[in-house]
Amino acid sequence: MPAPDLPFRPAGWVNRLVASPRFQAVCARVPGLRSIARREGAAIFDLMQGFVQSQMLMALVELRVLHLLADGPSTAEMLARRLDLPPARMAILLQAAAAMRLIRRKGDSFTLARRGAAFLAVPGLADMVRHHDVLYRDLSDPVAFIKGQTDPELARFWPYVFGATGPMDPAVTARYSHLMAESQRMVADAALAQLSLKGVRRLLDVGGGTGAFLRAVRARYPGLDLALFDLPDVVAQAALPADVARHGGSFRTDPLPQGADAISLVRVLYDHSDDTARALLAKVHAALPSGGRLLVIEPMSGGAKPDPQTDVYFAVYTLAMQTGRTRSAAELSQLLKQAGFSDIKPYHADKPFVTSVLEARRS
């Protein structure tokens, strides 16, 4: 049922001024104010059309248009024949892609733009876009979704978040393990660009999937002793050197392996509730020696300064998963303190939409 129309009188004199039709008319006539009003209007329109952009991006990925243009320029007619599409519809898709600056148009010819090349270069990004069809379905009724009246399909895509510990369907395991591994490569690169593992003797990656983070660590720190802990079916698929120790188990029910002086949690805590996160942090604290380091690597909310990516995309994504949430560095720090950690240090995140990093030490 739509919300009833209410008298529109925003609080605050600035908001009332901006909302005034008379002020809007003045802005349209004054050069300096006109450019500000135009930018604000365009930004508002972008908010409205965002879902169309994401769906056109999905079409570009599924049809591999960017990949085809990476081989060289082409026309709408040539691509339409190659992809068995009506030329007029192909032209609309290419025009949209050019407007999104993924490709460039010159006359009747289209070629890959820098943004499109960067898109193709990001590991796992195309796979994540394909995966969004699940989230799109979950958000088909956004009001019911926010009210908690839907049964999100995304929650069933990641079975481990509900505590699955026994044997799982190999196809399901392979599906989410591949997506996690592909996207985790860029997370690992971003995290290791921020922090240093010098002085660490043995690193245990908890919930590390098929080992993408550990492979990135090995490339930078070849002498570091490494170990992986995850569900047995997942660990079995890990593509890791023979000297990397593998431990199959669930952090919900099993103790963590001992002997590491650093433990990493890469995109683990935000998958789970506060209670599950507290229990895991208590196990990490117990597994580390005095002075041992914990690395929390995941997208984080902007907290008091809402972030345009993490507080929209990741917050909604974790809500659809039904078990976790995107926490701010301050919220995570509080959980770490409750678990007995100290010397909590946030690292500056160049790309918070990829990941942020918190480091803490066991007292």
In eight-state DSSP terms, residue 161 is G
**pLDDT for 302-340, tens place per residue?**
999 999 999 999 999 999 988 899 999 999 999 999 999
In eight-state DSSP terms, residue 270 is G
Q: Which segments within the chain are labelled E, that is strand?
A: 74-75, 103-106, 109-112, 202-206, 225-230, 245-248, 262-266, 293-298, 341-346, 356-362
Q: Whole-angstrom Cα distance, residue 185 to residue 205?
A: 14
The boundaries of every CATH 3.40.50.150 domain in the chain are 125-362
- Which H/E stretch holds residue 153? none
Q: Whole-angstrom Cα distance, residue 71 to residue 35?
A: 39
**pLDDT for 274-305, tens place per residue?**
999 999 999 999 999 999 999 999 999 999 99
Q: Whole-angstrom Cα distance, residue 140 to residue 128?
A: 19
Q: Which residue positions in the chain have pLDDT lower than 70? A: 1-10, 13-15, 17-19, 23-24, 26-28, 33, 37, 158-182
CATH of 125-362, picked from 3.40.50.300, 3.40.50.150, 1.10.10.10, 3.40.1500.10, is 3.40.50.150
The boundaries of every CATH 1.10.10.10 domain in the chain are 49-121
Is the domain covering 49-121 a CATH 3.40.50.9100 domain? no
Whether 197 contacts 205, CB under 8 Å? no
Closest alpha carbon to 286 in 250, 259, 265, 264: 259
Phi, psi of 101 (to 5 degrees): 65, 25
Residue 230 forms beta bridges with which residues?
248
Q: Which pLDDT belongs to residue 217?
A: 97
Count other Cβ atoms within 10 Å, centred on residue 355. Answer: 25
**Dihedral sign for Cα atoms in the order 168, 170, 176, 182:** positive
Q: Which pLDDT belongs to residue 79?
A: 98
